[in-house]
């Protein structure tokens, strides 16, 4: 695919950041939430949620944890891939990304279109996981989930860079599968989960009650408070009634 | 709701109830015509049916099978296509802008694209009508273009993201404005004022948004139109005289046929040409209204690139409609450009899933680096363009061999950016980056691959050889077949299209009334 040649584009080492004003890459490898005492689910019965929202989030939290769309082997590969693409902290329940994906593909709740030459999402996923497994066996004589995390990462980087060419990918390419499926679906499912909203301090569902304080460094009492924050919520006396 | 039997020959059957079809259903019914409007999507009740959730609201989008191909394949689904009564306006971002007058004559005045067979001053009148009908909330004085009346509702309060956009524009010496938005800033009928919940692109669960679903459809029902939801049109029938007789559609698993004196297609830039092409007959072997061979051609999307960065301050851009402020500077300034066309840029407020897709698609991040970046969500700032891409006949919609759940051939969409498109994008990325740099944003990066709205594929024009419909949105080939939606745009301009589509539909309804009075329908 021909990419746009930008006159401005940061170097690859900085993840595309442009060197203006400051662009230090983040090297914190143990990302910690800035909102340790915020739990978006605490608002479940508040005016920020309506019944339709409660229904869909409840269903998401109750997603069955075993595969119904993927085969056992595809599932094992998928679980391992999800852990590398979105590593999660050990001290809290894991967001079941693989289970959410399995459910999404089983119910075909996708965007519907396919980008040539990829197949539709469900078949693309099955084929891509089989191809990744074939690459692992060809290069390391072991199943992908059995590889060390370092080697798994190396293989995934090769896929992203388009350097894997096993015939099992055809008519897709490893790079297209990585871009359109792995790097599109896995992050989207993680950030569809309330655990991630609490982690990043997102307000979460917000209807019928929305927000009142929209300015810079301002927040409503029902928004997340950042550690060492600059933002101000109004004095408690003004918001006694906020639930 | 007044209901018609399939055997009733109604004055108008309208396919699609979005910006074009919803507006027409209301106006034609108000003029006393009998109207049945079909939509493939459901008739939602936002207060009951809409969750505040990026994923669950996938229910609003057109997610039937489609193939996207070409050098720069367009992302479909929620990115540009709705499937609901109200069409894409149910989840549109409410930005309601007028074309720059010169764009209606961009070929003769500005030297690119194609002229519209319409006069800007007449469109100015219909823009005002649309703005009144939609109770647009906007500034008292809009800084660009010829004088326009003040907006009916006062502008919305700016959120932090919009204030930062304004600061960036001022630093570069450009004007900025509150964005005219189709969500009310004070109560109106059954609409309460916008509560700034920020989920606008996933449906407004309070009905503050002035979409076709909340504005035109109630007016259509009141005037006696029938809105038939979950009704997918598959084929338009034509008789021996070459006149349309009605529409085959599938509802509740049954194929049915609605008789009509006139058919208006309003399915948007992919489904409109698909329906016309799927309706081929022995007399019209290349599809209906296609003697020019242009049905499906000149598909246009709009450049939707962005620049993103980080502020020390807490921005919390998830609050409020995403695009509360904008600058149209480069739509109205022609000096200093190495490309044809224009663009504007707007404030942004992506919710978490959209935001992570920016980090992965623009920067390829994953692993701990991705989770770490996402922790900065509440400090993020960004501006996003809506840019004019030029019409190119090779960018098109054709039929694929594959079929959908109704057994109908699916559309294949082929797209490639031109050199001009790329120059425009580069210019905008540089400008947007500078505007972020000027307000002290750090960790700035460009997102170079996004597109949004659609247009073209059944262009209007001056003659039957070079266009599909005339200035009344009437097809050249079949006198009682009309097309009135985003697909008739000969050029797409540097602003979001929905207000122009609605203004055009208001004009078409007036023209139909006029033609009917002269017995020229
Ligand atoms: C996320 C998003 C944000 C947007 N934001 C803005 C914005 O801020 N400002 C702006 O101006 N524009 C915006 N747009 C674009 C705008 O919504 C569209 O340009 C506009 O709605 C198109 O109008 P239309 O009448 O051509 O089609 P639509 O509004 O899409 O309506 C077409 C309707 O036809 C129906 N249909 C199609 N084919 C058939 C068939 N065969 N049988 C039965 N029914 C059929 C569909 O179900 C659909 O309901 C946005 C779009 C999206 C997706
Ligand atoms: S911010 Fe306003 S328009 Fe948007 S969804 Fe909320 S209430 Fe509706």
How do residues B328-351 score in pLDDT, each as one tens digit? 999 999 999 999 999 999 999 999
Q: B182: Cβ below 6 Å to ligand 2?
A: no
pLDDT at A221: 96
Q: Is B7 exposed, middle or buried (0-12, 13-18, 19+ CB in 10 A)?
A: exposed
Mean local confidence (pLDDT), A84-105: 96
Q: Is 90 exceeded by the pLDDT of residue A32?
A: no
Do you know the residue count of chain A?
Answer: 243
Helix axes A97-106, A121-140, angle to 10 degrees: 130
Q: Which atom of ligand 1 is nearest to the CA of B497?
A: 11
Cross-chain residue pair B198–A206, CB shorter than 8 Å: yes
User: Which of B92, B199, B260 for a ligand 1 pocket mutation test, highest count of atoms within 8 Å of Cβ?
Assistant: B92
B199 C-alpha to center of ligand 2: Å?
6
For B218-277, the three-class secondary structure string (H helix, E strand, C coil) is HHHHHCCCEEECCCEEEEEEECCCCCEEEEEEEECCEEEEEEEEEEEECCHHHHHHHHHH
Q: Which of B41, B47, B55, B406 has the most A C-beta neighbours within 10 Å, making it the best mutation to test the interface with A?
A: B55
Beta bridge partners of B447: B306
pLDDT of A3 reads 43
Please write the tens of the pLDDT for every residue from B399-424: 999 999 999 999 999 999 999 999 99
Residue contacts between A and B (CB atoms, under 8 Å): 282
Confidence grade of residue A20 (pLDDT, cut at 50, 70, 90): confident
Give the gap in angstroms from C-alpha B436 to the nearest C-alpha of chain A. Answer: 10
Q: Name the residue with the closest Cα to ligand 2, atom 7.
A: B194
* Interacting residues of B274 by C-beta distance below 8 A, sequence separation 6+: B267, B296, B397, B399, B408, B409, B410, B411
Within 8 A by CB and 6+ apart from B69, the residues are A115, A116, B412, B413, B414, B415
**Predicted confidence (pLDDT) at residue A6 exceeds the cutoff of 60:** no
**Element (H or E) spanning A156, and its range?**
helix A149-160
As a whole number, the mean pLDDT across chain A is 90
How much is the average pLDDT of B168-176?
98
pLDDT of residue A2: 38
> Which residues lie with the beta carbon below 6 Å from any ligand 1 atom?
B 15-21, 38-41, 80, 82-84, 87-89, 91-95, 201, 232-233, 266-268, 271, 275, 453, 485-486, 496-499, 501
Q: Look at A151 and A3; give whichever has higher pLDDT.
A: A151
d(CA A125, nearest CA chain B) in Å: 17
Least confident range of A4-18, B192-206, B300-314: A4-18
CB B373 within 8 A of CB B358: no
Tell whether the model's pLDDT for residue B61 goes beyond 90: yes
pLDDT, average across residues B291-301: 98
Give residue B49 CA to ligand 2 midpoint distance, Å. 15
pLDDT above 90 covers a percentage of chain B that reads: 100
Flag whether the pTM goes above 0.95: yes
Tell me the mean pLDDT in the region A175-182. 98
The full set of domains in chain B, from first to last, is 10-517 (3.50.50.60)
CA of B497 to the centre of ligand 1 (A): 10
Distance (Å) from the alpha carbon of B30 to chain A's nearest alpha carbon? 33
Q: What is the mean pLDDT of residues B379-392?
A: 98
Tokens of B420: 């001009």
| Sequence-ordered strand ranges (E) for B48-112 | 66-69
When pLDDT is averaged across residues A71-81 and rounded to a whole number, the result is 98
The SS3 call for residue B483 is strand
CA proximity to B399, closest of B485, B457, B481 = B457
Chain A residue closest in CA terms to B60: A111
Q: How many CB atoms lie within 10 A of CB A32?
A: 13
Residue A19 has a pLDDT of: 73
B338 burial via Cβ count (<10 Å: 0-12, 13-18, 19+): exposed
- What pLDDT is attached to residue A9? 65
Q: Residue B53: its chain A contacts at CB < 8 A?
A: 53, 56-57, 192, 205
Strand locations in A136-210, DSSP E? none
Write the burial class of residue B502 (CB in 10 Å: 0-12 exposed, 13-18 middle, 19+ buried). buried
Q: How far is B491 from chain A (nearest CA, A)?
A: 22
Cβ atoms within 10 Å, residue B229: 16
User: What are the pLDDT digits (tens) for B245-291?
Assistant: 999 999 999 999 999 999 999 999 999 999 999 999 999 999 999 99
Residue A237 has pLDDT above 50, yes or no: no
**Average pLDDT for chain B:** 98
3-state secondary structure at position B48: helix
Cα-only R_g, chain B: 22
Distance from the alpha carbon of residue B184 to the mean position of ligand 2, in angstroms: 9
ipTM score above 0.85: yes
On the question of pLDDT at B203 being above 60, the answer is yes
Task: State in Å: Cα B456 to ligand 1 middle.
Answer: 13
By C-alpha distance, which of A151, A178, A150 is closest to A164?
A178
Closest ligand 1 atom to Cα of B94 = 8
Pairing state of beta strands B306-310 and B380-388? antiparallel
Residue with the smallest CA separation from ligand 2 atom 4 is B200
What's the CA gap between A194 and B245, in Å, rounded? Answer: 52
Give, using CA atoms, the residue closest to atom 1 of ligand 2: B196
The Cα–Cα gap between B16 and B232 comes to 9
A239 pLDDT above the threshold of 80: no
Average pLDDT over residues A47-72: 98
The pLDDT tens digits for B239-255 are 999 999 999 999 999 99
Q: Which of B197, B215, B349 to mutate to test the pocket of ligand 2 (most atoms within 8 A of CB)?
A: B197
Q: What is the pLDDT of residue A232?
A: 66
Does residue B320 surpass a pLDDT of 60? yes
Atom of ligand 2 nearest to the CA of B207: 8
C-alpha B339 – ligand 1 centre gap (Å): 29
Helices (H), B328-462: 329-332, 352-363, 368-374, 419-437
Q: What's the rounded Cα separation, in Å, for the pair A190 and B377?
A: 15
- Can you tell me which atom of ligand 1 is nearest the CA of B495? 11
Token duo for residue B348:
């942004």
Closest CA–CA distance from residue A180 to any residue of chain B (Å): 9
Question: A113 and B71: CB-CB below 8 Å?
Answer: no
**pLDDT at A30 (0 to 100):** 56
Whether the bond between A171 and the residue before it is cis, its omega within 30 degrees of 0, is: yes
Nearest CB to B441: which of A21, A55, A110?
Answer: A21
- Nearest-ligand number for the alpha carbon of B50: 2
> How far is the C-alpha of A26 from the C-alpha of B368, rounded, in Å?
10
pLDDT of residue A31: 74
| Nearest ligand atom owner, CA of B180 | 1
Asked if A219's CB is within 8 angstroms of B314's CB, the reply is yes
The pLDDT value given to residue A16: 80
Is the pLDDT at A242 greater than 60, yes or no? no
Ligand nearest the Cα of residue B22 is 1
Q: Are strands B232-238 and B244-251 parallel, antiparallel or unpaired?
A: antiparallel
- The full DSSP string for B98-128 is PPPGGGGBIIIIISSS-B-SS-HHHHHHHHH
Could you check whether the bond before residue B163 is cis, i.e. omega within 30 degrees of 0? no
| Nearest of B500, B441, B417, B516 to residue B95 by alpha carbon | B500
Task: Give the residue-averaged pLDDT of A36-45.
Answer: 96
Which of B54, B357, B368 has the CB atom closest to A87's CB atom? B368
Q: How far is A21 from chain B (nearest CA, A)?
A: 5
Closest ligand to Cα B183: 2
What is d(CA B13, CA B258) in angstroms, rounded to the nearest whole number?
A: 8
How many C-beta atoms surround the C-beta of residue B125 within 10 A? 14
């Amino acid at each position: 695919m021909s990419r746009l040649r930008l006159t401005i584009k940061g170097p690859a080492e900085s993840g595309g950041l442009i060197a203006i004003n400051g662009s230090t890459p983040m090297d914190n490898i143990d990302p910690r939430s800035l909102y340790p005492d915020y739990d978006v689910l605490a608002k479940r019965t508040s005016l920020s949620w309506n019944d339709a929202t409660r229904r869909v989030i409840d269903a998401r939290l109750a997603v069955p944890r075993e595969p119904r769309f993927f085969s056992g082997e595809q599932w094992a590969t998928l679980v391992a891939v999800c852990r590398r693409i979105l590593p999660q902290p050990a001290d809290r329940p894991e967001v079941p990304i693989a289970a959410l994906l399995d459910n999404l593909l089983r119910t075909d709740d996708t965007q519907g279109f396919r980008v040539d030459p990829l197949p539709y999402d469900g078949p693309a996923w099955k084929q891509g996981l089989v191809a990744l497994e074939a690459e692992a066996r060809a290069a390391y004589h072991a199943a992908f989930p059995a590889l060390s995390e370092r080697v798994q990462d190396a293989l995934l980087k090769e896929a992203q860079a388009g350097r894997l060419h096993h015939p099992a990918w055809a008519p897709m390419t490893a790079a297209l599968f990585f871009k359109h499926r792995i790097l599109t679906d896995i992050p989207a499912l993680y950030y569809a989960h309330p655990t991630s909203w609490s982690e990043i301090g997102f307000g979460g569902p917000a209807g019928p009650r929305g927000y009142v304080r929209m300015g810079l460094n301002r927040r409503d009492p029902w928004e997340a408070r950042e550690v060492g924050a600059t933002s101000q919520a109004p004095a408690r006396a003004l918001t006694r009634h906020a639930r | 709701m007044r209901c018609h039997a399939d055997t009733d020959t109604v004055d108008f059957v309208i396919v699609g109830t979005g910006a074009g079809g919803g507006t027409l259903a209301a106006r034609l019914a108000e003029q006393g015509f009998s109207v049945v409007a079909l939509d493939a999507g459901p008739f939602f009740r936002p207060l009951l049916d809409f969750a505040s959730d990026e994923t669950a609201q996938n229910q609003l989008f057109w997610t039937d099978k489609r193939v996207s191909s070409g050098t720069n394949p367009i992302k479909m689904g929620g990115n540009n296509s709705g499937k609901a009564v109200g069409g894409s306006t149910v989840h549109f971002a409410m930005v309601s802008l007028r074309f720059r007058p010169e764009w209606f004559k961009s070929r003769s005045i500005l030297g690119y694209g194609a002229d519209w067979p319409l006069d800007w001053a007449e469109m100015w009148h219909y823009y005002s009508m649309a703005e009144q009908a939609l109770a647009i909330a906007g500034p008292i004085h809009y800084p660009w273009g010829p004088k326009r009346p003040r907006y009916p509702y006062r502008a919305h309060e700016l959120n932090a993201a919009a204030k930062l956009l304004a600061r960036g524009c001022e630093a570069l010496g450009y004007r900025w404005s509150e964005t005219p938005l189709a969500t009310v800033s004070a109560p109106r009928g059954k609409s309460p004022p916008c509560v700034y919940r920020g989920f606008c692109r996933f449906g407004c669960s309070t009905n503050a948004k002035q979409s076709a679903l909340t504005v035109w459809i109630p007016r259509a029902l009141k005037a006696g139109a029938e809105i038939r939801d979950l009704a997918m049109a598959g084929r338009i029938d034509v008789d021996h005289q070459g006149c349309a007789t009605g529409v085959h559609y599938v509802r509740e698993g049954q194929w049915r046929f609605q008789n009509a004196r006139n058919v208006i297609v309003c399915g948007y830039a992919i489904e409109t040409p698909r329906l016309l092409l799927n309706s081929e007959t022995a007399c019209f072997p290349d599809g209906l209204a296609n003697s020019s061979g242009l049905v499906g051609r000149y598909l246009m999307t709009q450049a939707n690139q962005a620049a993103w960065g980080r502020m020390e301050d807490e921005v919390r851009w998830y609050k409020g409609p995403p695009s509360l402020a904008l600058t149209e500077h480069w739509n109205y300034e022609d000096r200093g450009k190495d490309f044809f066309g224009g663009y504007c840029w707007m404030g942004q407020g992506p919710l978490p899933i959209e935001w992570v897709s920016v980090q992965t698609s623009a920067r390829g991040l994953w692993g701990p680096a991705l989770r770490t970046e996402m922790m900065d969500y509440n400090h993020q700032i960004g501006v996003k363009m809506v840019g004019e891409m030029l019409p190119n006949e090779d960018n098109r919609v054709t039929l694929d061999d594959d079929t959908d759940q109704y057994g109908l051939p699916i559309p294949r969409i082929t797209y490639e950016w031109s050199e001009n498109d790329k120059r425009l994008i580069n210019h905008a990325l540089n400008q947007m980056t500078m505007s972020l740099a000027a307000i002290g944003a750090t960790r700035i990066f460009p997102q170079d691959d996004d597109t949004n709205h659609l247009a073209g594929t059944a262009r209007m024009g001056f003659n039957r050889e070079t266009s599909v419909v005339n200035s009344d949105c009437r097809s050249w080939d079949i006198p009682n077949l009309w097309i009135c939606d985003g697909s008739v745009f000969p050029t797409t301009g540097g602003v979001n299209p929905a207000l122009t589509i609605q203004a055009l539909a208001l004009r078409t309804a007036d023209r139909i009334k006029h033609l009917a009075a002269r017995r020229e329908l």
